[in-house]
Each structure stands twice: as C-alpha cells, then as structure tokens.
Amino acid sequence: MPHTFTIVTDTSANLPAPLLEKHGVPVIPFTYSYDGADHTCLDTEAFEDGAGERYYADLKEGKRVTTSQITPQTYKEKLEPLLRNGEDVLFISMSSGISNSYSSSVVAVNELRAAYPGRKIFTFDTLAASLGEGKAVLDAVECRERGLGIEETVRVLEGKRQSLYQVVMLDDLMFLHRGGRVSAPKALLGTVLGIRPILKGDEGGHLVVCGKARGRKRALAVLAEKYASLVRGADQLVGIAYTDCPEDAYALKDMLGSVLKPREIMIVRYEPVTGSYVGPGTVALFFEGKDGARRY
C-alpha cells in the first residue's frame, strides 16, 4: 500500500536504524558534544556495540556531555523538502516535559503550514522518550499500514498517550540533576547505602521519582511488578532500554516472561543524548498500560 503520509521522528525514539529505514521513517538527530567534538547518533547499530560501551564507561569516569535541542530551523530544513514533494507529514517528538525541542517543532510546523496551505502537517508530543517515543512511532506506522489517514492516526496516538507506562531504574539521580531534570535534594537519593531510585513518566511527560529499592536485583523486580499490575495485555510490543548493563536488561526480560509474556520485547541500548541524562546503570521499561496508567 503506498504511503498516505510520511512519519518523521527524532533520534530520541531509540529505534534501530534498519527498522526505521524499512518503514520509510526519516530521523532528525539530536546533537551532543563529547570528548572535544560534536556528534549525532544516526548510526544506532554501531552504538549498540563497542561505541556505546566506551561512551558510558567514559561517563562513569566523569567525562561531561553537553546536549542541544533541535532548533526550528533544523525542523524546517528536514520537513520542508517532504512538503515541497507533495507529502503530508506527521512528526513524532520527544516529550515536551523533558526537552524544549517539541516547542521548536511547533514553531517550525506553524511556519510550514502557512507556507504550504495545501499540505497537512502535524507534530505530536509523545510525553515520552527512548522506546516510549519509539512505540508511538511504530503505532503510527501500523495505523498507516492499516490505511488510516494522518488525522485518524493522530487521534489513535492521542488515545494511547496517557496509557503508555515508562518506569526507569537508575543507579542514582546525579546525571539527571546535572542536566537540570531533578532538584539537588532529590539527587541525594541513591548516593547512600545502595538505594536505587525508581522513576516514571508522569501525565505531563516529566520523569518523577515514584519509589526506591535497595540493590539492583530488587529494583528490577519493582519494574516487573509495575508491569504485572498495570500492563493492558500480552498482545503488544514491550520495550527495554539500558545504558551499560545488558545483563540487567535481559534479566528483566526473563522476569516479564514469567509474569505475562508479551508478543515481542525489543531491547536497545540508550541512545547517547537521553542516555547522558539517565546515566550509567540505567534500565527502563516501556509498555502499554491500563487506561490512565501514567497516574500510578
């Protein structure tokens, strides 16, 4: 079936490049400065292996990373050729509760709508990052393959947004504090006695502390318990993202299988921009929960 519209996302969606290419989804990269040079992470396959291991080892040793939001001009440069080619566009964005890049996309889209009044263009705030955002991209692909139009697809995404559950185990909150995402008092959680902070994506797309656990094994069990109590059903793609601890990601996969085995579990290494905020030792779980699951 020919594409009725083009789906575009950013690198925060954390989806494997071959999968995006298969479905014809262009990607707009976030940029980061590290080790004296500017980078993007469009080659996700390379980052899955040695490059990603070295990156998170460097962060653990204290190397600093700075990141940049995507500007309105960059959005325009990436999206305008599609509109000029006669295509309608749905851009699926990282959470506005985490980055100002969504606001930049709105500015760009408003300007492009004025310049191309005959085209349909939408920007969608997932209120998510990593595979939470990636799940929305794949939902949009599925809608398009079923023959839904761009407006119908946006309505489907809107209907699922507050049910997407994102729960994250961190080693500590210092990387989020350094990036301005949590306050200093909260950042002290996890620095003493092996306490692991547990965070979730709230209704506004922010990462907020929702619990704590002593030790990594217990923290992974808390993630599995959230899945057991909130998951909508087994017929879905579940996402697991990790920074430098693949063994924990696969241990979590086994835990989920013993609770309620989903149709598919996708495991990826955190891409470098979002990964620089959560830091080494992170494992995150993304799934479709019950109605309004973000509240819990």
Superfamily of the domain at 6-30+69-161: Dihydroxyacetone kinase; domain 1 (3.40.50.10440)
Q: How many Å apart are CA 252 and CA 222, to the nearest integer?
A: 10
pLDDT of 219-272, one tens digit each? 999 999 999 999 999 999 999 999 999 999 999 999 999 999 999 999 999 999
pLDDT at position 98 over 70 = yes
Q: Which pLDDT belongs to residue 54?
A: 94
CATH entry 3.30.1180.10 includes domain 164-295: yes
Q: Could you tell me what percent of the chain has a pLDDT over 90?
A: 84
Across residues 189-199, what is the average pLDDT?
74
Q: Which pLDDT belongs to residue 183?
A: 45
Band the pLDDT of 174: cuts 50, 70, 90: confident
Across residues 162-169, what is the average pLDDT?
98
Band the pLDDT of 293: cuts 50, 70, 90: very high
- pTM for the complete prediction? 0.93
Instruction: Record the tokens describing residue 148, joined without a space.
Output: 């839904």
pLDDT at position 277 over 80 = yes
What's the whole-number average pLDDT of the chain? 92
Q: Which pLDDT belongs to residue 1?
A: 45
Minimum mean pLDDT among 67-71, 199-203, 226-230, 285-289: which range? 67-71
Q: Which pLDDT belongs to residue 190?
A: 47
- Parts of the chain belonging to CATH 3.30.1180.10: 164-295
Band the pLDDT of 187: cuts 50, 70, 90: very low
pLDDT of 11-68, one tens digit each? 999 999 999 999 999 999 999 998 888 988 887 777 887 889 999 999 999 999 999 8
Band the pLDDT of 177: cuts 50, 70, 90: low
- Parts of the chain belonging to CATH 3.40.50.10440: 6-30+69-161
